[in-house]
Amino acid sequence: MSSGAVYTDEAIEAKLKAELPHWYLENGWIRRKYRTSGWKATLMVVNTIGHLAEAAWHHPDLTVSYAFVIVKLCTHDAKGVTDKDFELATKIEAVIAWQPALEGGVLTGTPNDDPRFKYIKYD
């Protein structure tokens, strides 16, 4: 299966600005830093990204620390950023940055005002 065409840096920057404003281009990878409230939340983020990557069969590089996770995407066989990277980044963003309380449904979301339950530090 083809990875698709490799985007130019200019096209990547434009697509990120339009579709994934919290992501950025650096050294040939699209990246995103998710800040968390601590180790347990960081592990949940890593495991969620791991599930999405395995389901997609497209695997990012991760930098994992106590209170953050950096996701890096690049299509290795294409030697650049392709639609695979944008599609997985979009799915990761939708899941990790999801805030149910903002949707107006019955799900209230994690109570971020209580440090015992704080999870993601939303942008």
The CATH code of the domain that includes 81 is 3.30.1360.20
Q: How far apart are CA 50 and CA 113, in angstroms?
A: 28
Q: Is residue 81 part of a domain?
A: yes
**Mean pLDDT in runs of 10 for the chain (123 residues)?**
83 98 98 96 97 98 98 96 98 96 91 86 88
Domain count, the chain: 1
Q: Is residue 64 part of a domain?
A: yes
Phi, psi angles (nearest 5°) of residue 106: -80, -15
- Domain residue limits at 78: 28-98
What's the farthest any 2 CA atoms get from each other in the chain?
A: 47
Q: Is residue 85 part of a domain?
A: yes
Strands (E), 4-103: 24-26, 29-35, 61-65, 68-73
Whether 81 and 75 have beta carbons less than 8 Å apart is answered as yes
Whether 44 and 119 have beta carbons less than 8 Å apart is answered as yes
Q: Is residue 15 part of a domain?
A: no
Q: Is residue 14 part of a domain?
A: no
Q: Is residue 115 part of a domain?
A: no
pLDDT at position 1: 43
Q: Is residue 56 part of a domain?
A: yes
**Is 0.85 surpassed by the pTM of this model?**
yes
Whether 95 and 52 have beta carbons less than 8 Å apart is answered as yes
Q: Is residue 86 part of a domain?
A: yes
